Amino acid sequence: MADVWVSSTIILAYDTEMTGAVSGELSPRIPRTLDERGGHLSALFRWQSGKRSQLENFCTEALASAIVSQPGPFLDLLECAEMLPAQVTAAQVEELRVSTQGPTETGKLVDLQLTLRLAGGKRAAVWIEVKVGTGLRTGQLESYAKELERVHGGEPWRLLVLSCTPEGPARDNLRWQQVRAMIPADAHSHWLDLRVFLEEKQVADIYDEGLTVHEFAMVDPARVVLRKVARAMAELSRRLAKAKQGGQSALWPKGFPNKEQKILNLVATTFRRGSGFVIGGYRVGPRLQLGVRATSEGPEAFVMIKTRKSHVQTRKKVWAVLDTIAEPTFGLVDAGPMEARGVSLALAKLSTQDELVGWWFGKLEVLADAGALELCGGSINTAEADEADEADEDGEDES
Domain chopping of the chain, boundaries: 5-208, 213-394
Distance separating alpha carbons of residues 218 and 212, to the nearest angstrom: 10
Picking from 66-70, 170-174, 395-399, which range would have the lowest pLDDT averaged per residue?
395-399
pLDDT given at position 249:
56
pLDDT digit string, tens, across residues 159-174? 999 999 888 677 799 9
Contact between 10 and 61 (Cβ < 8 Å): yes
Contact between 143 and 137 (Cβ < 8 Å): no
pLDDT given at position 347:
93
- H/E run at residue 264: helix 260-272
pLDDT digit string, tens, across residues 80-94? 999 999 999 999 999
pLDDT class of 121 with cuts at 50, 70, 90: confident
Contact between 167 and 135 (Cβ < 8 Å): yes
pLDDT given at position 352:
95
Contact between 304 and 333 (Cβ < 8 Å): yes
The residues, ordered by sequence, that sit 6+ positions from 40 with a Cβ below 8 Å of its Cβ are 12, 13, 33, 34, 65, 189, 190, 193
Decide if pLDDT at 380 tops 60: no
- DSSP 3-state helix, strand, coil percentages of the chain (rounded to 5)? 45, 20, 40
Three-state secondary-structure class, residue 303? strand
Contact between 258 and 238 (Cβ < 8 Å): yes
Decide if pLDDT at 157 tops 80: yes
pLDDT digit string, tens, across residues 190-217? 999 999 889 888 899 888 888 889 988 8
Decide if pLDDT at 236 tops 80: yes
pLDDT digit string, tens, across residues 123-135? 999 999 999 878 8
pLDDT given at position 45:
57
pLDDT digit string, tens, across residues 32-55? 333 344 455 555 555 554 455 578
- H/E run at residue 204: none
The segment with the largest mean pLDDT, out of 7-16, 198-207, 322-331, is 198-207
pLDDT given at position 194:
92
pLDDT digit string, tens, across residues 18-34? 233 323 232 332 333 33
Picking from 152-166, 339-353, 361-375, which range would have the lowest pLDDT averaged per residue?
361-375
Q: Look up residue 324 and give its amino acid.
A: T
Distance, CA of 222 to chain centre: 23
Average pLDDT of span 352-379: 84
Exposure b/e, 301-328, CB count within 10 A at least 16 = b: bbbbbbbbeebeeebeebbebbeebeee
Decide if pLDDT at 392 tops 90: no
Three-state secondary-structure class, residue 292? strand
pLDDT class of 292 with cuts at 50, 70, 90: very high
